Each structure stands twice: as structure tokens, then as C-alpha cells.
Amino acid sequence: MRLSNLSGVVTLALTLPLLTFSCKEDPATPSTEREGDFRVEMTDAPIDDAYVKAVVVTVADIKVDGESLEGFNRSTVEVSALVNGETDLLYSGQLAAKNYNKIELVLDDDPKAVNNGPGCYYINPDNQKKALQVANDGVITIQESKFSMAADAAVTAVIDFDLRKAFVRTQDETEPYALAAGTRLNQSLRFVEKDRTGMLTGTVTNNSESEGEIVVYAYKQGTYTSTEASADRDDELFLNAVSSSKVNANNEYTLSFLEAGAYELIAVSYKDQDSDGDLEIEAQFKVTATGGLDLGLLQVKAESTTTADFNLSFPVG
């Protein structure tokens, strides 16, 4: 009897650790981590060059604090079509509720990435695809992309891929354009939280003699200096503008996804002055607002539209 009881004790002692181990490894145990809804959308500030008809990139991955977003599907996007507030949805899913420090886009520039053609390219006036190479193995670290996700809340991140800043001219006549590298490329992508942004829009009356293409630049109040309008190359001008907009055939401009705050506007004319196919800066205008607005202190509010109409006159300089 004593041997039998001892046997039962030994059997129980061996079984309990196994049961405990089994509970710890149970894959069906639900996670207690809180989450929120996270979306990533892409938009574009237009490129100021008629030689570039379209720009296409393939987003192979999106990383937040170095980790790929779960459930992300690679996407090929015509970035140049996403102007005047248009966006393309890259991702929609769940993200753990905590603070995050950075977002990275990973572009696929392989020459046979999409339908046996390049993953990133632009289309020239002859409708030819010109491949674009992306430095740093395609990884672009978006500047100032910190954000916080609260439990059961939602964050929509808008990535403004500013092609005007991202493109540089080369000395190669067969491949006249390329994507910038390093800091300039990283700074060509701007991160905002959608519900914290507003829009600036209006009508431009051109009272000058200029017949060039007019571009309106938005600067955060106090950040514009005259050095922005002077550089060795036209593709190095106005690089510190938050956003830009080409004035359309109806003399209208639209500056979308501006973070709430004070802005000033600069208007510039571009024209192909030497018939080489490239647009050069023709003049910077004196701008005068209608309706008593101060174009050096325009207030943008979140989830609202500010209208600022103005006249263009005697070029500056």
C-alpha cells in the first residue's frame, strides 16, 4: 500500500509541471496588447517640369520603428497624379497603442520589378519609361515622423512625396533626371497626421507681363528668406517650402495637407527661356492679397479650408 501511494504521488508530481508548461505555450491565449486603427496614404506636391509627364514608384514595404507593417501589400503608385488633395491608400490595419519615432518607405527600383519593367520610373514626353534608382537600398527615412497611437483610436498618416524636391537634373542627355539621394531625398517626403491638417486655396490674377507657368509656394511663417530664390541650379530653388502648387488653367491653386499654423505665400514664374526643354525661373512676383488678407500671415486650421485670392504684379528683382 505504501508503495502504491508513493507511486501515485510521483505520477502527480511529474504531471503538474507538464500541465503548467502546456498552459504557458498555449497559442490560443489572447493578447492583452491594446491597438488602434492605422492608415497610410500618399499624396504629391507637383513637379515643376513639363518634361516629366508622370512618375511611378513601387512601395515594397512600410516600416514603423524598424518593423514592417503586418498585412502590408506592395503597391505601385503613380505619384504625380496625386495632386490637389488626392491620395492613394497604401495601408490600413492595426497598430499597437504606444509612441512611435519614425516611418520608413522601402521602394523597389529593380529594373524588372513590375511586369518585367522598372519598379520606379518617370515617363518623358515621348512616352518612354525612364528607370529611377533609389539610394540606400530603396529605404527612405521620413523626417519628423513621430506619432502616438492611443488604444481604440485612429491615426491616418499622409506621406507627401514632393517630386519637385526629389528630382534632380543630370548631365546625361539620355537620362536627364534622377532621384536625389541622402538627406535631400529623405526631406522630400513629408509626414502629417491627416486630421491635424487644413488646406489653402484661392484664385490668382496675373497683372504682370509674364506668360510662364506660375507656381505658388507655402512657407511656415518666418522661414522664407531671399536665398531660397537663388541657387546654382533651378532644381535647388525653394527647397524649404512646405508645399507647392501649380496654378491651373482656371488660375486656381491648391495647397493641401498643411499642418495647422501660420504660413506665407511666394509666387514664381517658370519658362523654357532657352528652348532646351527645361523650365527655368523667369521671375518672382510681388503678390497683393484681395479682401484685406495678409499673405505673410495666413492662418490654416485643422480640417478646414482657408481661401486666399491674390494679384501678381511687378516681378521682384
- Confidence class for position 212, pLDDT limits 50, 70, 90: confident
- CB within 8 Å of 260: residues ≥ 6 apart: 196, 197, 198, 300, 301, 302
Percent of the chain whose predicted confidence (pLDDT) is above 90: 68
Average pLDDT over residues 205-212: 87
Q: For residue 275, what pLDDT is reported?
A: 67
Higher pLDDT residue, 16 or 208?
Answer: 208
The verdict on domain 197-317 having CATH code 2.60.40.10 is yes
pLDDT in tens, 160-200: 999 999 999 888 878 888 999 999 999 999 999 999 999 99
pLDDT in tens, 236-275: 899 999 999 999 999 999 999 999 999 999 999 988 777 6
Q: For residue 172, what pLDDT is reported?
A: 85
Q: For residue 11, what pLDDT is reported?
A: 39
Q: For residue 79, what pLDDT is reported?
A: 97
Compute the distance between CA of residue 316 and CA of residue 18 in angstroms, rounded to an integer: 82
Nine cell digits for residue 293: 488678407
Pick the range with the lowest mean pLDDT from 14-28, 37-51, 72-86: 14-28
Intra-chain end-to-end CA distance of the chain, in Å: 110
Compute the distance between CA of residue 38 and CA of residue 149 in angstroms, rounded to an integer: 8
Determine the residue type at 157. Answer: A
Q: How is residue 112 annotated by DSSP?
A: T
Q: Which residue has the cell 493578447?
A: 31
Q: For residue 1, what pLDDT is reported?
A: 38
